[in-house]
Amino acid sequence: MSELKLRIGMVCPYGWDIPGGVQIHIRELAEHFISQGHYVSVIAPVSDEDSIIDPWLVSAGRPVPIPFNGSVARVLFGPIAASRVRQWIAQGDFDVLHMHEPGIPSISLLACWSAEGAMVGTFHASTPKLRAIASVGPLIEPMIEKLSARIAVSEMAQATLNNLYGTEAVVIPNGIDYARFARGAASRETRGDHPRIGFLGRFEETRKGLPLLIEALPKILKSIPNLELVVAGPGDPEKILAKVDPQVAKQVTFLGRLSEEEKVQFLSGIDLYIAPNTGGESFGIILTEAMASGTPVLASDIPAFVDLLSVGDCGATFRSEDSGDLAKKTIELMRNAVRLQQLAENGLTSAIRFDWGSVATQIMSVYEVAMTGQAKVAVGSDNASWKKGRER
C-alpha cells in the first residue's frame, strides 16, 4: 500500500513580502512537505502579487500595517479577504488546514471562521494580554475552541495561549534546515586579527535591540579596537548611525536584507552572534540557525532565549536592556577562545533537534490526530462528505 499523501492548506497571517520568523517557518515547512510528496498550498497577504514566484503561494490581498507585540504586523482582515479565503478553501480540497496565529484578527482567523473539519493552529507570539485582543476576545475564543489541535512554538507561547484563552497546546519548536547551516560551520575560517560580531533582524524595531548593541559598542572597541560589527536585515542604516560617533561608525558594516544562502555565509563569517532583543520573543529562530552554523551566541536573558540556550549550555546571556553588561560579556567571550569554541560545539550538537526532519514529523503527527474522526476541510455542509486523505 502506498504511503498516504495529504492535501495541506497553510494560512500565513503576516505580509509575505517582508519575511519574519513566522513566514520563514511556513515557507520551509511547506517546502519540506512538498519534498515528501504532499500537496501544499499557502495563502498569505502579498503587497506585490506580480512578485509571486512560488507556485504553491496564493495572495489574499494587500496587507495593512498595524502595531502588534512591540512591532508592526502587516496583516489583512475584512470581507474581501474573507471571500478570497473561502474561495481558496473551497478549491483546495484540503485534508487538513493549518492556521498560524489564529488568535489575532487576520486571514488565519477568517479561515477558522470559514472552514470545518480538521484544523490545526500554531501559536507563535509570547506577549502579555493585549488590549486589542482582549476587546475582540469573545469573537476569537470560539474559533480557538474550533481547532482540532493546537501547537505552541515554545513554553512561553504556550503560556500566552493559556493566559489569553485558557487553553493548552502541544509544544513543537520552529524548524531549521540543519544541514544547510552546518555546511557553513564546516567552511568556517579563523579571522585572527579581524574579529567580527554580528546582528541580524529588522534593526529599526527597538525591541530587536540594535540600539542597545550600538550603545555598548564604544566600550567593546575600547578593549578590542580592531573588532567589526556586521549588521544584516532590512532598515535604514542612517537612522541608526545618525547619533553615533564617526570613529565608532567606521567599525559597523550594514549588509542589508540577506537571502537564505547569504544568511548561511553571514553566520559562518562571524565570531560571535549577539541577540540583544529586549522582549516580545517567544522562540528565537536566528539563535538556532547561529548554533547550527557553529557560531557562539550571546543573547539577552529574556525567558525565550534563556530556555532555548540552557539546553546543553549552548549560549551565553547578559542582563536584558543593560548595555554595560552586554559590553562586559562580549569582551569576556571574545578574549576567551576556549569558551567560544565550547559554546560553538555545544550549539552545533544541540541545534540538530530543530531540524525539519524532526520538527515536521512532530507536526505531521498533530495533523494525523486532527484528522482522526474529522471530515474533509470544507466551506459548508455540501462538502462535508468529502473523502479524507489521498493515495498517491
Question: Is a pLDDT exceeding 60 seen at residue 241?
Answer: yes
What average pLDDT score do residues 215-230 get? 97
Tell me which residue of 224, 200, 194, 226 sits closest to 213, measured CA to CA. 200
Q: Is residue 195 within a helix (H) or strand (E), and if so which, with residue range?
A: none
In sequence order, the 6+-apart residues with CB closer than 8 A to the CB of 382 are: none
Alpha helices in 58-123 (DSSP H): 79-92, 107-114
Question: Is a pLDDT exceeding 70 seen at residue 290?
Answer: yes
Backbone φ and ψ for 382, nearest 5 degrees, come out as -60, -25
Residues 70 and 54 occupy one common structural domain: yes
Q: What is the pLDDT of residues 309-332, one digit of tens each?
A: 976 688 999 999 999 999 999 999
Residues 231 and 361 occupy one common structural domain: no
If you average pLDDT over each of 135-149, 260-274, 365-379, which comes out highest? 260-274
Q: Which domain holds residue 227?
A: 178-353
Q: How confident is the model at residue 243 (pLDDT cuts 50, 70, 90)?
A: confident
Residues 373 and 326 occupy one common structural domain: no
pLDDT of residue 392: 36
Residues 120 and 82 occupy one common structural domain: yes
Backbone φ and ψ for 305, nearest 5 degrees, come out as -75, -40
**Coil/strand/helix, residue 50:** helix
State the Cα–Cα distance between residues 37 and 26, nearest whole angstrom: 17
In sequence order, the 6+-apart residues with CB closer than 8 A to the CB of 174 are: 21, 25, 124, 153, 283, 285, 288, 354, 359
Between 189 and 53, the more confident residue is 53
Residues 158 and 217 occupy one common structural domain: no
Asked which of 112-121, 147-156, 160-169 is least confident by mean pLDDT, the reply is 160-169
Question: Is a pLDDT exceeding 70 seen at residue 377?
Answer: no
Domain count, the chain: 2
Q: How confident is the model at residue 388 (pLDDT cuts 50, 70, 90)?
A: very low
Question: Per DSSP, what are the bridge partners of residue 204?
Answer: none
Question: What mean pLDDT, rounded, does the chain reach?
Answer: 88
Residues 244 and 363 occupy one common structural domain: no
Alpha helices in the chain (DSSP H): 21-35, 79-92, 107-114, 131-146, 155-165, 178-186, 210-223, 237-241, 246-249, 260-268, 285-292, 303-310, 323-334, 337-350, 356-371
Residues 269 and 240 occupy one common structural domain: yes
Question: Per DSSP, what are the bridge partners of residue 299?
Answer: 275, 317
Asked if residue 287 lies in contact with residue 305, where contact means CB atoms within 8 angstroms, the answer is yes
Question: Is a pLDDT exceeding 70 seen at residue 129?
Answer: no
What average pLDDT score do residues 23-30 get? 95
Residues 244 and 128 occupy one common structural domain: no
In sequence order, the 6+-apart residues with CB closer than 8 A to the CB of 197 are: 220, 227, 228, 229, 230, 270, 271, 272, 273, 274, 330, 334
Q: What is the pLDDT of residues 82-124, one digit of tens each?
A: 999 999 999 999 999 999 999 888 999 999 999 999 999 999 9
pLDDT of residue 125: 80
Question: Which CATH number covers residue 63?
Answer: 3.40.50.2000
Residues 40 and 163 occupy one common structural domain: yes
Backbone φ and ψ for 59, nearest 5 degrees, come out as -85, 135
Question: Is a pLDDT exceeding 50 seen at residue 338?
Answer: yes
Q: Which grid coordinates belong to 281?
A: 520573543
Percent of the chain with pLDDT over 90: 67
State the Cα–Cα distance between residues 151 and 169, nearest whole angstrom: 5
As a whole number of Å, the CA-based R_g of the chain is 22
Asked if residue 124 lies in contact with residue 157, where contact means CB atoms within 8 angstroms, the answer is yes
Question: Is a pLDDT exceeding 80 seen at residue 208?
Answer: yes
pLDDT of residue 104: 84
Residues 113 and 205 occupy one common structural domain: no
Residues 114 and 197 occupy one common structural domain: no
Percent of the chain with pLDDT over 70: 88
pLDDT of residue 329: 98
Residues 167 and 20 occupy one common structural domain: yes
State the Cα–Cα distance between residues 54 and 42, nearest whole angstrom: 10
Asked which of 60-64, 264-268, 349-353, 381-385 is least confident by mean pLDDT, the reply is 381-385
Q: Which grid coordinates belong to 65?
A: 500595517
Report strand pairing: 252-256 vs 96-100: unpaired
